[in-house]
Each structure stands twice: as C-alpha cells, then as structure tokens.
Chain A
Amino acid sequence: MDPATSRPSRSRSLATLFQRASGSDGLPSPPNPAHPAGDHQKLALVRFTALGAMAVLLPPILGLLGYGALVLPIFLGALVLLGATVAGYTWGNQTQDVRGAWLFYAAADTLVILTLGVLLGNFMDVFLIVVVVELARIYRHGKLVIAGSIVAALLMLGKFGLLQLFPAVAALGAGVRPPTQALLLVVSTMMVVLICAVSLSTFIQHYAREIFSYERIQAVNAAELHVAHEIQSSLMAPRELESGQWSIAAISVPAKEVGGDFYEYIPALGNSIGGIAIGDVSGKGIPAALQMAVVRTIFRIEARRRIFPAETLTRVNQSLQTEMQTQGMVTLLYAFVDPLEGVMHYANAGHNYPVVINDHVEELKLAGLPLGVDGDTEYDERSVPIHAGTSVVFYTDGVVEAFNEQGELFGFDRLLNTLYECRALSPKDLVHFVVDQVQTFAGSVPQSDDITIVVLHHGSAVTRPAGKSATGGTTAGESIPLADVPATPVALAPPTTLWPAPVPGSVGSGTARAHLTNGKGGGER
C-alpha cells in the first residue's frame, strides 16, 4: 500500500528540492522558475565580476609583494576561469539550464585548481583532495565524488611523474619558496572560497525561488484537492438513512483527499431502502476518484433498470468493458433488500464478504471476479433472511489491510472479533467503533487505503408518529430523492405499498424474489 501523503512541510520541500537538484532521486524536474534566464545571467555576471577583479588586481598586488613567480599562473588561471564562464554562459543560455551551467563552472574551477596543484608546491596536494571531494559533495552527486577522488589521485601520481620527467617543471615547483607556497595556498583558498560562495549563493537563490514556486503549486493543488474532496463528499450517499424498521449508517475515510471507495443506495418503491452497493476502485487519489465516478454512474444507470443484483453486476461489468478501457479493476458488492420479506439478495464482484451480525457474526461467502477483469463474467446471486435485530456490515479492504507499527495487518479475524464485540451498538455507533478500532490499531502508521463501512440494520418494529421522524428529519410520506438527502440523519417513508409484481421473463427465482422490482417500472430495457 502506498503511504498516505499529507501536505508537505517546508523542510520536506527543501529536502525534496535539493534531492531534485542532485538529479539522483529519479523524480521529474521541479517546475521551471519564472525567469530561468535571469538567474543564469546573474550567476554569470557574478563570476565575471569576481574573476575579472582577480585577473586585474591580483597580479600587480603579487608583483608588488615580490611574488613574481605567482603572477603568471594566477593570471592564467583567472583567464581560464573567465573562458569557462563565457562557455558556460553561452551553453546555459541555449539550454536554460542553470544547474548544468553551475556544474560546468564548478568543473572548470576544479580543473584550474588541480592544474595549479600539479604545477605548484606540495602544499596543494591535500588541499586538492579536500576541494575536489567537497565540491563534489556540494553538488550531491555520488558519482562525481568518486570520479573527483580518482582524478585527484591520478593527478597526484601524474604530478610525481611529471616532476621526474620534466626538470624544468620541477624547477618551477622547487623555485617557489615555502613562504611563497603558503601565500599561494592562502590566495588559492580565497579564490576558491570566493568563487564557490558566489556560485553557491546564486544557485541556492535560484532554487529558493523554485521552492517557493513549488510550494505555491502545492498550495494550489491542495486547495483544488480540497474542493475535489468536497465535491466527492457531496456526491456520496447520505451517511444515515432510516426507513421503517430498517436503517443504514455509513462512513468513508479516504486515505487521501479523494478516494476510490464508494457506497450507494438505490431507492425502492415508496422511497424505502432498496439497493445497497459498496465498491472499491483499485488505486487511490484522483485517478481512482475519476474512475470511481465513472463506475458509480454506470452502476446507477444499470441498477435503476433492473433489480436483481447479479444481473446488475453483469451489465455493469459489460458496460465497463465497452465504456472505458479500465486499467485496473473495481470490486463491487450489490445487495437488494426486500423489506417486506426481510430478505437480502446479493451478488459480489470480488468485494470483501459482508458480515451478518446477530447473536454471532457470520460472513456471507460469495466470490466473484472483480469488474473490469473479464467482460464475459456472469455473477451468481444468493439470498439471506435478515431477521429483526440483525445487522449486515459491508466494508472495503482498507479496514482489514490496515497495518500497525509492528507491520501486522488488522486482518479478517480481528474485524470479526471487533464486530462481535460491538454487535449491540446502533449502526451509527458501530461504524464509528470499527473505524476507531482500526485507527487505534494502526497507531502512528499512516492510513494506507480508503476505509469505508456501511451497516444495514433490521430493527424491531417501531411505529413513528406521522409527521415527525425520530431524528427530526422529514415527515413520513414525503418523497425525497436519496441522492439529495443531506448527510444528517433522515427518516424515509416506510414502504406502504407492496412491491410490484416481477417483470415477466426476468431471471429471478424463489419466493422472496417474487416481491422484488426496481421501483422504476420494471426490468431491463
């Protein structure tokens, strides 16, 4: 499971950005800043100024101090670095790649320091290794650290050979007195520090701008996701419903702002409780939410055309195959309640088995391929009596696949024990109890998958006074489109009319089925 991601903190963003700067995390490039060319020009300008000042001022100062031997190497070094800056500026202007240009400058700087180290004094040796490795470390590029170290080692060996082979060069090195070497070390260090400092500051400034840009985009994304969450929540079926002796409570806790779990009620005649569906689209986040919206729409259309759960799932599966080239799958359990007979008919497309709770808990084991896997699948259907006092719990896999800090799954057995433990609770309390148990079990482990629980309860016969509901909702007899019912508890009209006769030629069989209809006028069209 994917860990749930929260809105990134600033420190996380910084770390991410610097990882991105290293190019070693495999992530896509961060968003382009508003003016990459401006940053690049600024970086080049700083280098031109610093190196130009070095080339112009250092030689006469060294000459005046009596270190004439150093004038030419320092001057040439500055010229080489100026040349590298011109090349880097030209390249960076073409590619708009500030990081690449900065790396190019750094490589040139390193090369010049190495060359000076080869030519002048033994003091430079240790300094060289430190500079190479430190520059490579700053660039956060592991391969560059290794390559720099190898190059430094080879150059030191090469320098030894060079001094042996070319006495003139050796004489140049030997001609530099120790005090001069010390001065050279100080000057070179200052040069490197200066170049690195200005380059690094410009580099950081450049990426700081990207960080702010990145965080702004994150904020916009978060706001959009919040709106998406609000839209998805508003489209969900109500969290509580009551209809005569029947009641439903539901809860859905997405792992991200939006999720792929859904539940749905299909109204029966007289707006009483009819069909109950619970589904889970593979994946999470926006892709799953989009796919869920499609599946739910198809399901709503098909469920209103027919009543039998197995037929409905078969048709939804076929529609999914033709209407969308789904890359994943959808598990969906659809149950249809005959409130007069107290029977629930159900079919299952690969969803978790529903659990019946009365004086014990029992799974309704009916397997089936998930939707979107094989368009030729036909689903089985079963019926189970739901006596007064009985609840049926539907849930998604986020419940049983929650991990705790020890890496243990919540699991099916723990769920069944939990359901037995809370068998006396009302549907509303039951769904919250189970979610609390799962969250307590998970502890600090982020929620890895969407969690949805729906409880259908067949209560004892209660006669409510006409015109008032137990929850202060609507009056009995009013017709409320279920999709428009708010998330607050609502009492729906008890079924006052017998279910119409079955549609001729429909597939259903059995006594209970004879009472079923879709409440919309008949079978498949």
Chain B
Amino acid sequence: MSIMIEQNSGLTIVRILTDSVDALSAKEIEAAAGELRERTALDFGKVLFINSAGISALLKLVIEARKQGKKLYALNVTAHHRKVFEMVDMLRYMPLTTLEELQATTT
C-alpha cells in the first residue's frame, strides 16, 4: 500500500508512504481521486523521488479535483520537487502549505 488516507476534522490527508512516486504507486494515488473531500492535503514527507509517470498521475489527480471543485494542498515537498511542481504548473492547482496552516483555517 503506497498511500494512507486520514480524516482529520474536515480535512482529508493522503499520506504517501513510499519514497518513490512512480507508475506503480501512481495508480494508487490516481485511485485516491474517489476519496477526495472538500479539502484534501497530499503529504509528500516520505517522498524522495517522483518520476514522470508519478507527475502525470498527480497532475491528473489535481485536474480532476479542480473539475470537482475540490481543493488540494501539498505538504512537506522537497525543494527539488517544489520546483518540478512549479514548472508543470501543479502549484496553481495544488498550493504548498503546512498542516498547521490548514488546521488553523479549518477550525
């Protein structure tokens, strides 16, 4: 299992448990689209590497979330992946934030 989904007072947190988001783990992340709530945060804290298949899956997830009118946030993204997310325009749909900020705005 590459992801773990937690419900946290109105906020869904999708924790990515693998250190590499690739074609295999991407399928599970894509499948998480069905679990998206009004506000969902993807936690990349354990992720060291994301390949192009992983980026593709994440982009499709954020596009799907946008079409459903749901908000996605990214937590604990490394500086390298922050730049990658920026280049593929992912940050427009999934801004970076911290869990504290999210919880503060939730309550």
Contacts and interface: CB of A to CB of B under 8 A. Distances in A.
A and B found bound together: yes
Contact of A282 (B49, B55, B91): B55
A257 B56 CA distance: 23
Contacts of B59: 329, 369-370, 373
B80 A411 contact: yes
Nearest to B64: A374
B4 to A, nearest CB: 24
- Chain A interface size band reads 20 to 34
A374 B53 CA distance: 15
A351 B51 contact: no
Does more than half of chain A's interface fall in helix, strand or loop, or is it mixed? loop
Interface stretch (B6-14, B39-47, B81-89): B81-89
Most buried by A among B49, B84, B86, B89: B89
A412 interface: yes
Interface in B42-94: 48-49, 51-53, 55-56, 59-60, 63, 80, 83-84, 86-89, 91-92
Given A373-B63, A409-B80, A329 B55 contact: yes
Contacts of A452: none
Contacts of B22: 1-2
Contacts of B84: 397
A282 B52 contact: yes
A367 B53 contact: no
B56 A373 contact: yes
Contacts of B53: 282-283, 328
B66 to A, nearest CB: 9
Nearest to A260: B52
Contacts of B51: 1-2, 282, 401, 449
Contacts of A412: 80, 83
Contacts of B48: 407
Contacts of A348: 87
Interface of A: 1-2, 280-283, 328-329, 331, 348, 350-353, 365, 367-370, 372-374, 397, 400-401, 407, 409, 411-412, 449
Given A1-B22, A1-B51, A280-B52, 7 more contacts: A331-B88, A367-B92, A369-B59, A369-B63, A397-B84, A401-B51, A449-B51
The 3 closest A-B pairs by CB, nearest first: A282-B52, A350-B88, A329-B56
